[in-house]
Amino acid sequence: MNGGAVNEERLSGVLLHVTSLPSYGGIGDFGPAAYAFVDFLAAAKQRLWQVLPLSPTGYGSSPYSALSAFAGNPLLISLERLVADGWLTAEHVAGLPGHDGPANFEAATKQKLPLIEEAATNFLDRAPDAARARFQHFSKANISWLADYAMFIVLRRRFGYVSWHEWPAEYAHRKDDAMTQTLNAHGRELAIEQVIQFFFHEQWSALRSYCVERKVRILGDVAIFVSYDSADVWTHPEIFELDAERRPLRVSGVPPDYFSKTGQRWGNPLYKWRLLEQRGFDWWVARVRRALALYDMIRLDHFRGFEAYWSIPAEEETAINGVWVKAPGHELFKRLREVFGELPFVAEDLGLITPEVDELREHFRMPGMRVLQFGFSDRGSHLHLPQNFVPNMVVYTGTHDNNTTLGWWREDTGERERRHLQTYLQPIRHDDDVVWAMIRAAARSVANLCIIPMQDVLHLGSEARMNTPAAGNGNWTWRYGLHALHPDFATQLADLMEMTDRDGYVLPEPEPIEIVSSAAEHGPSI
């Protein structure tokens, strides 16, 4: 890290998406709860905070189903900070949903988002010169995506939030006259959307600065694919596999695996990789540049898709009848390294991983991932156990797609897995024992990076699961309680970090040893 590869230090961190914070307004955001969480991380000697994509969400409120790969989610903007900055009053935000309970995206969209839009209006009407100058600087620095994203959001609202391909053809196909008409008729709305992105930028930048002060770095998530109903596909249809009507020809997913017998049909349009390569991967360069402006390190979701991706005919209802298609991963990462230098990437290399995928990851010195929950079935699963780890690796007890460790132990393990875990770790006399045993195993391992989901830190069961892959609803809503950050959890983690050398402590340079060569001092030679 520090500008080099991500595997140079032995550190630990916590996986918690921002929406899971107990913030005011019904959904986790960049407000006081986020700062309290960073304080908890520092007290627990956790040096990394892993978040899921911060993009504006579309279908199902999934951070992996985003309306833009570049924009920030407006719902993550803190109302308290808007009040503190003078863009809203306390009376504006009184009566909104409180801090407790699951994230309520629908209520936040209906009640919180209009207040954020009102704050943006107030900014446009009366922002002082210094704030306007910062806004102009932000707009200029993000000119490659900001105006198109604002146009997409305004038109999406105008046409009843249907997917862009259902808009009138002149708007779906971005005809010049239609775009000019929108600029002339909706200039105020477009400006509001850009100011909202500026609010996101200012608040996230302030939170990141707070993290830096407490020696916490952000590990962010970049999904390999983008949603069909997104500003990205609407703005750049030429780089995706679309037909003449701009409908997907083939879509993304994964074959049958641990999570689903029919695979997962994600439905994202696939890239025209050959065209992107001819263009110097310009869109990917822009995307990574944006990600590096948001995060210190980047986890590449579905890394195996950069070597070969599962291509499913768009008319198929499941992922069963897809085929593997080679991707120009070496050429892409070579280009990114030319632009950005050493790549601070973590490769999510779970699933069906071939020697070619391993070679691609190792060639660019990216740490891969191991998940302890996967390690206790047959011998083939033992690559997820510590005896098979190497330092250039990130170990998780579980990920956002897994059950919590306590939920997994209680509900998802069979007799053989339980017996293997008892043998490998220690006698598990009580359910809660398994959580700390797994955390301890991850921290003790040789993997340089160790990530623990917040649900495991709090010893929570399956009621706290973040996501069940292939489930149609009920995902992404977990939030921890307002008073959940008990100091005992921080003390327990801090002690473990010290004993496993993950607390960020650097040994002092040894004092130089003076070499004395005088024969008189050493006595006669023998």
**Catalytic site residues?**
301, 348, 401
**Burial class of residue 254, CB neighbours in 10 A (0-12, 13-18, 19+):** buried
| Sign of the dihedral through C-alpha 421, 422, 425, 428 | positive
Type of residue numbered 31: G
- Is residue 298 within 8 A of residue 366, CB to CB? The reply is no
Do 121 and 87 touch, CB atoms closer than 8 A?
no
Residue type present at position 316 = E
Cα–Cα distance between 259 and 108 in angstroms, integer? Answer: 31
Token digits of residue 338: 């030319």
- DSSP state letters, 112-167: IHHHHHHHHHHHHHH--HHHHHHHHHHHHHTTTTHHHHHHHHHHHHHTTT--GGGS
Task: Give the integer Cα–Cα distance in Å for 117 and 196.
Answer: 7
Distances (CA, A) of 135 to 127, 146, 195: 10, 12, 7
In 238-346, where does DSSP find H-type helix? 273-278, 282-294, 329-340
- What SS3 class is residue 7? coil
Of 476, 526, 496, nearest to 51 by C-alpha is: 476
Q: Which helix (H) or strand (E) holds 368?
A: strand 368-371
Backbone angles phi, psi at 504, to 5 degrees: 80, 5
Burial of 409 (0-12, 13-18, 19+ CB in 10 A): buried
Angle at 47 between CA 45 and CA 48, to 5 degrees: 135
- Structure tokens of 247? 């409908």
- Give the CA radius of gyration of the chain: 25
